[in-house]
Amino acid sequence: MKRIFQDSANIKLGFLALLFLAAALLPFDSPSFSRALSEAFLLLSDYARDHVLLCLIPAFFIAGAISLFLNKGAIIQHLGPESPKIKAYSVASVSGALLSVCSCTVLPLFKGIHKKGAGIGPAVSFLYAGPAVNVLAATLTFEVFGWKLGTARLGASILFAIVIGFIMNLLFSDDERETNAAMFAPPQSSQSSSYRVPLLILSLLGILIFANWKSLGGAGSFGGKIFQVRFLIATGFVLLLVLLLLFRFQKEEISNWMAVTRDFSLQILPLLMLGVLVVGFFFGRPNSEGLLPLEKLMSYLSGDTLLANSVAAVSGALMYFATLTEVPILQGLMGAGMGEGPALALMLAGPSLSLPSLFVIQSELGWKKTSTYALLVVGFSTLAGWIFGMLS
């Protein structure tokens, strides 16, 4: 049997058989099924247009640079399994939070630092903190929902980034003691630890952050002023990147970097695309409806019961939220009767997890660790929402 599935011709034949079965059996003439199928590809279209070019592509290049150029000893010293816990989790949570990216954009960076030797605990703290401890999203939450919900979101996100990473380290630290060498990295040059590598990563981070800067507040606010010149700032980082590559990196190094970036892209993009299609099919786009009826879901989200918080946390962990979009979506849901507790539960679980990101995380950690991470996020989010609802 194993030999049959290893034969590429048999794999192609099986794929064709599944394709024909799907064409014959799926109810394409059903209005609800056709709408869900349309929503799946419309969500994928939105994702490709709004997130791949300015978010994922810079993230892939950053991950490739981390894997290839960054000194592995420095990663292990600050984030490794044997590094001081306070130092490791502080560095991981702060560095993740400063990026202010969505759950999918943080994935290449997470894979890069984990392959370079970061322990499971600090790596997971970084993974959670990037989308969850999001300074821009926290600011928008304060503006829209007030200080109480904003403080609860920010405080719980910071706490969970550290606690979830620490629990993952306790459960899986034995697995992490083995050398976690980068999968693709060829031998590093002797100059890999010089200023050129930090500047390279800084330029890529600048492109990632400022090209995706969101407008918060009025035009006269600090965020509004940066938003007006975001592309000018990003262009400055592009020029810095070009100058570094022209004068401080050899052609062979650039070629190796392109190869590592390509490999990260081939690992991650197919899983993300599949996950986005599945999410779009079942849940639809924001303000739209997939196969699952929104009215049915809302019936479980009203009030501040433990069930409502659980449904909110699980739904958030499966749906895909681009950076900052969870706030206007929650405005609509709360207007339809969603309680403050479930709103907090969804805000804590939604940005940090999604079905697309789970597919990618399992390719790096395996289903056992990925399932544990997802259960921790959903469980803590449910608990926080329930307590917040009772105290409100």
The pLDDT tens digits for 89-139 are 888 888 877 776 777 888 898 988 988 888 999 999 999 998 888 777 777
pLDDT greater than 50 at residue 1: no
368 half-sphere exposure, CB direction, 13 A CA radius: 4
Q: Is residue 73 part of a domain?
A: yes
What is the C-alpha separation between 99 and 15, in angstroms, rounded? 39
- Identify whether the C-beta of residue 60 lies closer than 8 Å to the C-beta of residue 265: yes
Q: Can you tell me the mean pLDDT for 272-293? A: 85
Mean pLDDT on 148-168: 93
Lowest mean pLDDT among 40-44, 74-78, 203-207, 376-380: 74-78
DSSP string, 77-115: HHHSTTS-HHHHHHHHHHHHHHH---TTTHHHHHHHHHH
Work out the number of other CB atoms within 10 angstroms of the CB of residue 242: 11
Number of Cβ atoms within 10 Å of the Cβ of 328 = 13
**Percentage of the chain exceeding pLDDT 70:** 90
In angstroms, the CA 159 to CA 375 distance is: 16
- Domain membership flag for residue 178: yes
pLDDT band at 217 (very low <50, low <70, confident <90, very high): low
Q: Give the pLDDT score at 76.
A: 78
Domain range spanning residue 337? 30-189+250-391
Other residues' Cβ atoms within 10 Å of the Cβ of residue 101: 26
Mean pLDDT of 271-291: 86
* pLDDT for residue 313 is more than 90: yes
4 found inside a domain:
no
In a domain, residue 219? The reply is no
Q: What is the mean pLDDT of residues 321-326?
A: 73
Query: What was the pLDDT predicted at 267?
Result: 86
For residues 27-43, give the mean pLDDT. Answer: 91
Q: Is residue 204 included in any domain, yes or no? A: no
Domain total for the chain? 1
Residue 215 pLDDT > 80? no
Instruction: Give the pLDDT score at 219.
Output: 60
More reliable by pLDDT, 261 or 72: 261
pLDDT bucket at 12, cuts 50 / 70 / 90: confident
Least trusted range by pLDDT, from 83-92, 144-153, 338-347: 83-92
Asked if residue 283 belongs to a domain, the reply is yes
Residue in 125, 109, 11 with CA at minimum distance from that of residue 61: 109
Mean pLDDT score across all residues of the chain: 84
* Angle (CA) 146 128 266, round 5°: 130
- Above 80 in pLDDT, residue 382? yes
Q: How far is CA 57 from CA 61, 87, 112, 114, 351, in A?
A: 6, 30, 14, 19, 20
pLDDT band, residue 180 (cuts 50/70/90): very low
Is the residue at 282 inside a domain? yes
pLDDT at 177: 57
| Contact present, 327 and 286 (Cβ < 8 Å) | no
pLDDT of residue 91: 86
For residue 193, pLDDT over 60 is answered with no
How does pLDDT run across 224-269, given as a tens digit for each residue? 788 889 999 999 999 999 999 999 999 999 999 999 999 989 988 8
Structure tokens at 164: 């979830």
pLDDT of residue 392: 78
Residue 321 covered by a domain:
yes
Give the pLDDT confidence score for residue 240 in this predicted structure. 96
